């Protein structure tokens, strides 16, 4: 009977020891998984930085750079505004004269669709 009890005791101790090893393996696995996630996060950030740099380089190549494009648009806009101001100054007197003449020289007439 003592040997049977002793055998059960050894089995219980072996089960406890196996459980400790399984728990240790789980902790190691969780630690490695966490480390792998951190490494993947760093790699993803590095990849994103590289792709962003490539995108900026391609954007600058295609568009000639955003600042250059903005300067060109500003220059075009200023040129068009100056052209409009010149036309306003050139035709202002004539337009005013035509408007005043149209208001002063009213000639009443019946509407086209008047039936009388």
Note whether 79 and 48 are same-domain residues: no
pLDDT score of 57: 86
Let me know whether 99 and 46 are in one domain: no
98 and 81, same domain (yes or no):
yes
Q: What does the mean pLDDT of the chain come to?
A: 89
Residue 21: other Cβ atoms inside 10 A = 10
- Is the predicted pLDDT of residue 111 greater than 60, yes or no? yes
Percent of the chain with pLDDT over 90: 60
Round to whole Å and give the CA distance between 63 and 73: 13
Question: If you average pLDDT over residues 1-29, what whole number do you get?
Answer: 89
The reply to whether 72 and 56 lie within a common domain is no
Question: What does the pLDDT read at residue 105?
Answer: 85
Q: For residues 58 and 70, state if they share a domain.
A: no
Q: Looking at per-residue confidence, does 57 or 43 come out higher?
A: 43
> How many domains does the chain contain in total?
2
Residue 51 lies in a domain: yes
**Residue 79, pLDDT score:** 95
In this structure, are 2 and 49 located in the same domain? yes
Residue 112 lies in a domain: no
Question: Using 50, 70 and 90 to split pLDDT, how confident is the model at 37?
Answer: very high
Considering the domain architecture, whether residues 34 and 75 belong to the same structural domain is answered as no
CB 63 within 8 A of CB 69: yes
Q: How far apart are CA 110 and CA 89, in angstroms?
A: 37
Same domain, 55 and 4: yes
Q: Which two tokens stand for residue 9?
A: 């005791």
Phi/psi for 110 (5° steps) reads -75, 150
Positive or negative, the CA dihedral 33, 37, 38, 42 is: positive
> Tens of pLDDT along 58-95?
877 777 667 777 888 999 999 999 999 999 999 999 99
Angle at 36 between CA 32 and CA 37, to 5 degrees: 120
* Residue position matching structure tokens 């050894």: 10
> Domain range for residue 83?
65-103
Distance CA 33, CA 39 (A): 10
């Amino acid at each position: 009977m003592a040997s049977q009890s002793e055998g059960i005791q050894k089995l219980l101790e072996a089960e406890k020891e196996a459980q400790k090893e399984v728990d240790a393996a789980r902790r190691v696995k969780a630690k490695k998984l966490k480390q792998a996630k951190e490494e993947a996060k760093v790699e993803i950030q590095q990849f994103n930085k590289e792709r962003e740099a490539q995108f900026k380089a391609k954007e600058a190549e295609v568009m000639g750079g955003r600042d250059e494009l903005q300067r060109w648009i500003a220059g075009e806009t200023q040129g068009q505004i100056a052209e409009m101001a010149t036309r306003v100054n050139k035709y202002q007197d004539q337009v005013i004269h035509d408007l005043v003449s149209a208001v002063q020289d009213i000639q009443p007439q019946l509407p086209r669709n008047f039936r009388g």
